[in-house]
Amino acid sequence: MKFGRKAPLPRWWHSGDPGRTAFFNALSSTFPVGEKFFMTSVRHFRDGAPEPLRSQIDDFLYQESMHSREHVVFNRQAEDVGYDIAPLEDRARRTIAWVKRRSPIQQLAATCALEHFTATLAHDALADPAHLAGATDEAKRLWQWHAIEEVEHKAVAFDTYLHAAREMTRLRRWLKRSTVMFVTTMRFHYVIFRNTADLLRQDGCNNFATWRRLLGYLYGRPGPLRLLLKGVFVYMRPGFHPWELDDRPLLAKSLALLEQPRSQAA
C-alpha cells in the first residue's frame, strides 16, 4: 500500500494540534534508519534459523522495507510544510551507530525491545480509536497500516533472539534482554522527546502549555506512552512471549476496515 502521494500533508495534521503532530512526526523521523537497523540485526541470524522462522524473517524484512519507504515519503511531506527533519534523523542515526558498536546478539536484543515498543503502540492504536482521532484520513490510514503489520510480525525478532541465544541459560537470556530493554527505554524516550521539542521549537510552541496538553495525551488518556511503559514491565517478566497477547481478532477487524474504499472508510 502507498500513502500520501496525491495530497499535501497539513502542517498540524493530527487534530490541528502542534503537540500531537510533533510527537508522531518525531516517531516517523526515526523509522527509516531504525527499520534498516532492525532488518540488519535480524538478517544476521537468518541463515542459521530453522523453518518456519526463516520464512518469517523474510516476511519481516519485506514489511520493514515497505514501512521505511512510506515513512520516507511521510517525512518528506513534513519537510514540504516547513519542518526541518534532518536534525531529528541525525539524532536517530547517532543512536543507532551507538547500538551498532555492540555485539550482534545485543543488537538483536535492542531490536526485540524496540519491536515490542512498536507492537505495543500499534495494538493500542488499533484497539482504541482515540489515539488517532482527529488525524487526517490519509495520515490515519498510514499509521493504521503500519500498526497492523507491526502486530503481524511482533514476535519475529523475539523468536530470532530465542534461537540465537539458545545455548545461553534461561537466566542469562532473560537478564540480557531485560537489561537491554531498560537501556533502550531510556534512549527511546530521550530521542523522541528531543525530536518532539525540536519540532515544537520550529513551530514556536515549545512551551509549558503545549507540553501540558501533550503529556496529558501521552500519559493520561488515551495514554500511548503510559501503556508503553506498562508493556515494558510485561516484557521483563520471565517467560514472556509477544504472542501471549493474541491480537488476531483485532488484526482481522482492523485489516477489514483498512481495505474499505477510502470514501467508505471515511
The partner residues of 135 in beta bridges, in order of sequence, read 14
Confidence (pTM): 0.94
Mean pLDDT of all residues belonging to the chain = 95
pLDDT tens digits for range 52-69: 999 999 999 999 999 999
* Chain mean position to CA 220: 20
| Cα 96 from Cα 254, distance rounded (Å) | 31
pLDDT of 4 > 90? The answer is no
pLDDT tens digits for range 19-46: 999 999 999 999 999 999 999 999 999 9
- What does the pLDDT average to over 146-164? 97
- DSSP, residue by residue, 181-222: HHHHHHHHHHHHHHHHHHHHHHTT--SHHHHHHHHHHHHTSS
Give the phi and the psi of residue 158 in degrees, each rounded to 5: -65, -45
pLDDT of residue 262: 60
| Cα 78 from Cα 76, distance rounded (Å) | 5
* Chain mean position to CA 179: 20
To which H or E segment does residue 22 belong? helix 18-43
The single residue listed with the C-alpha cell 490541528 is 16
pLDDT of residue 156: 98
pLDDT of residue 152: 96
pLDDT of residue 122: 97
Q: Judge whether 218 and 225 are in contact, CB under 8 Å.
A: yes
Q: At what angle do helices 208-219 and 224-235 cross, to 10 degrees?
A: 50
Secondary structure of residue 236 in the 3-state scheme: coil
pLDDT of 265 > 80? The answer is no
> Checking phi first, is residue 4 left (phi over 0); if not, alpha (psi -120 to 50) or beta?
left
- DSSP, residue by residue, 93-136: HHHHHHHTTS-HHHHHHHHHHHHHHHHHHHHHHHH-GGGTTTB-
What is the helix, strand, coil percentage profile of the chain, to 5? 75, 0, 25
- Classify residue 38 as exposed, middle or buried by CB count within 10 Å of its CB (0-12, 13-18, 19+): buried
pLDDT of 266 > 50? The answer is no
| Cα 194 from Cα 88, distance rounded (Å) | 8
pLDDT of 13 > 60? The answer is yes
| Cα 132 from Cα 221, distance rounded (Å) | 12
- Tell me which residue of 145, 103, 100 sits closest to 125, measured CA to CA: 145
pLDDT of 263 > 70? The answer is no
Reading the block at residue 135, the C-alpha cell is 488525524
Q: Judge whether 181 and 113 are in contact, CB under 8 Å.
A: yes
Reading the block at residue 170, the C-alpha cell is 534461561
pLDDT tens digits for range 204-227: 999 999 999 999 999 998 999 999
pLDDT of residue 91: 97
pLDDT of 264 > 70? The answer is no
pLDDT tens digits for range 164-200: 999 999 999 999 999 999 999 999 999 999 999 999 9
Of the pLDDT bands very low, low, confident and very high (cuts 50, 70, 90), residue 90 is very high
